[in-house]
C-alpha cells in the first residue's frame, strides 16, 4: 500500500485496485502546493469524506465531478450533495461497510462536529466519522477529527488496524499527547502517521510528544506529496 499526505488531514491512499482520496482539501490549503493538484488526484477511484467542515469536504464536489467518481460519506451529507450538487454519492453510517473493488471501507464513530456553511449559517449534515480501510487482512484506521474515545477499544477488537492516520494538532482535535494516549491505550499499531497539524500556527507543529509517547511504534512524520510505502 502507498499513502501520500496532501497536507492537513488529506491523504491519497493507493491500495489494491483502488486510489482513494480521503478528506482532500486542496484549494486554499496552505500546506498544499496548488500547482500539483493534477498529480494529487490522478487516477482516483473514490473520495472518502469524514465530515462536512470546509477543511475536509470543500474540494470533494469539484474533484468528484471532474473525475466522475463517487463520494462516500454520511447519509445526510450524501443526500445534500446528491440533491444540491447532482453528484454521485454513497451515503452510509457508523458500522456500515462499502466494498470498493478489493477494498472494504467501514465507517466508525468520531467525536467532533459536522456542518457545511449555508447562507444563514451552519447546516447540519450528519455526524462526524472515521474510516477503517481494509484489504487482504491489512487495515488502515483514518480517525477523522476526533478526541480520545472509549469506542476505540471496540475498533481495535473488531478491526485490528495496523496503521493509524491520526489527527493530532490540538485545539479542534486531539493534540500529540492525547493522540499518543489513544494509540497506546486502545490500539496495537505498527505505524502511526499524524495529520491535522502544522497547517496553521494554532495547531501543533512538532511530533515530538507523539513519538515520545509511542515507544516501539513506527511514527512517521509525513511530508506533503512524498509517498509512504508500507
> Which letter does DSSP use for residue 101 in this model?
T
CA distance 195 to 51: 15
- Judged against a pLDDT cut of 90, whether residue 118 lies above it is answered with no
Give the CATH class of 2-223.
alpha beta
Q: What is the pLDDT of residues 119-128, one digit of tens each?
A: 888 888 889 9
Burial 194-204 (b: 16+ CB within 10 A, else e): bbbbbbeeebb
pTM of the model: 0.97
How many Cβ atoms are within 10 Å of 75's Cβ, its own excluded? 17
The domain limits of the chain are: 2-223
> Which has the closest alpha carbon to 173: 139, 211, 208, 199?
199
pLDDT digits (tens, 9 = 90+) for 127-173: 999 999 999 999 999 999 999 999 999 999 999 999 999 999 999 99
Amino acid at each position: 500500500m502507498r499513502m501520500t499526505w496532501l497536507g492537513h488531514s488529506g491523504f491519497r491512499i493507493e491500495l489494491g485496485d483502488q486510489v482513494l482520496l480521503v478528506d482532500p482539501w486542496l484549494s486554499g490549503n496552505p500546506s498544499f502546493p496548488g500547482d500539483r493538484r493534477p498529480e494529487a488526484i490522478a487516477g482516483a477511484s473514490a473520495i472518502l469524506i469524514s465530515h462536512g467542515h470546509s477543511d475536509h469536504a470543500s474540494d470533494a464536489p469539484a474533484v468528484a465531478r471532474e473525475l466522475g467518481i463517487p463520494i462516500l460519506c454520511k447519509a445526510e451529507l450524501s443526500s445534500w450533495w446528491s440533491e444540491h450538487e447532482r453528484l454521485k454519492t454513497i451515503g452510509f453510517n457508523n458500522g456500515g461497510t462499502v466494498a470498493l473493488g478489493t477494498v472494504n471501507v467501514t465507517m466508525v464513530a468520531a467525536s467532533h462536529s459536522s456542518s457545511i456553511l449555508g447562507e444563514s449559517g451552519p447546516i447540519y449534515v450528519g455526524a462526524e466519522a472515521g474510516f477503517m480501510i481494509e484489504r487482504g487482512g491489512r487495515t488502515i484506521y483514518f480517525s477523522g477529527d476526533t478526541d480520545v474515545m472509549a469506542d476505540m477499544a471496540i475498533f481495535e477488537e473488531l478491526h485490528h488496524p495496523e496503521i493509524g492516520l491520526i489527527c493530532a494538532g490540538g485545539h479542534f482535535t486531539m493534540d500529540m499527547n492525547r493522540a499518543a494516549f489513544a494509540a497506546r491505550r486502545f490500539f496495537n499499531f505498527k505505524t502511526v502517521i499524524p495529520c491535522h497539524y502544522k497547517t496553521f500556527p494554532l495547531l501543533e507543529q512538532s511530533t515530538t510528544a507523539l513519538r515520545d509517547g509511542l515507544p516501539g511504534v513506527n511514527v512517521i512524520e509525513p511530508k506533503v506529496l512524498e509517498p509512504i510505502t508500507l
